[in-house]
Copies of this chain bind each other. A is one copy, B any other.
Amino acid sequence: MHSVQFTAETTPADGLRERDFTVAGVPGVLWSPAGATGREPLVLMGHGGGTHKKWPGMTGRAERLVRAGGFHVAVIDAPGHNGRPLSADDEREVAALQQAMAAGEPVGPIVVRHNARIAERAVPEWRATLDALQQLPEIGPDGPVGYFGLNMGTAIGIPLIAAEPRITAAVLGMFWPDTVAGPAARITVPVQYALQWDDEHIPRAAGLALFDAFGSQEKTLHANAGRHKEVPRFEADSAVAFFTRHLRHPAPVPAS
């Protein structure tokens, strides 16, 4: 089993500890409450397509999760992102995406098929990263684990959560159902799902269909007025409340 190799440590803001790491060569970052002594729950965060582990959306959400929730938060760079090697498939799809955007054509079909192939590579990387993170004494092998990712973070998150029983609560959103409705139906943990009501890329019916597909008994849709990139910041606070509810006060498992 691979272990976490820490490569740098900083204090980007009061109360926040930031450690860069690699697991089997995959670069990641772990944010933690500064000065925490006991074990705290872990939230894995998946970044969106074309961004990276320290994109402002990631650092902003991480800071809220650490400060307001007291969680550890880990992000890894997705395959082909932030200087990680591009496959021939990545190169073709990035070119196709740029062409579609330049021509004003829909990007959905390209994003959907490309993210499905990125997810195939990303899921085993996440599982190895989780194995390694759980060896740290401040996280531990039995602690609660959540997942938070929108856009490509959902394209990777859905097959990851479907495969990974250690993840017991997830905040997802902003994707098409085509390639992920199948694994979404196998997910039974509590899910909070964000979509934008006026999304110019993902048709409203497609977003609602993916929410509908989750097998979870407890699932909540948060649909906000606005376009694709206008997810309101208060959804980050809502995610903190969701993870606090599920990772800090898990409901008792009913006797079967």
A residues at B contact (CB < 8 Å) = 197, 208, 211-212, 216-225, 232, 234, 237-238, 241, 245
Cβ–Cβ contact A211 & B238, under 8 A: no
Kindly state the separation between the CA atoms of A168 and B192 in the bound complex, as whole angstroms: 27
Closest to A211 in B: B223
Give Cα A237–Cα B216 distance, bound, in whole angstroms. 21
Give Cα A197–Cα B222 distance, bound, in whole angstroms: 12
Bound form: Cα–Cα A232–B218 in Å? 9
CB-CB nearest 5 A-B residue pairs: A221-B223, A219-B225, A220-B224, A222-B222, A220-B222
Interface of A is mostly: mixed
Q: Chain B contacts of A234 at CB under 8 A?
A: 241, 245
**Contact A223 to B220, CB < 8 A, known contacts A241-B237, A241-B241:** yes
What are 26 pairs between A and B in contact, CB < 8 Å?
A197-B211, A197-B212, A197-B219, A197-B221, A208-B208, A211-B223, A216-B225, A218-B224, A218-B225, A218-B232, A219-B224, A219-B225, A220-B222, A220-B224, A220-B225, A220-B232, A221-B221, A221-B222, A221-B224, A222-B222, A223-B223, A234-B241, A237-B241, A238-B238, A238-B241, A241-B241
Distance, CA A237 to CA B237, complexed state (A)? 12
- Which of A197, A225, A232 counts the most B-chain CB atoms under 10 A from its CB? A225
Bound complex: CA of A74 vs CA of B167, how far in Å?
42
Q: How far is the CB of A132 from chain B (nearest CB, A)?
A: 33
Beyond the given pairs A221-B223, A234-B245, A238-B241, 11 more chain A to chain B contacts, judged by CB atoms under 8 angstroms and listed by A's residue number, are: A197-B219, A197-B221, A217-B225, A218-B224, A219-B224, A219-B225, A220-B224, A220-B232, A221-B222, A222-B222, A237-B241
A53 to chain B, nearest CB (A): 28
Residues of B near A232 (CB, < 8 A) are: 218, 220
Nearest neighbor of A216 in chain B, beta-carbon distance:
B225
A237 to chain B: closest residue by CB: B241
With A and B bound together, what is the CA distance between A238 and B220 in angstroms?
Answer: 12
CB-nearest residue of chain B relative to A208?
B208
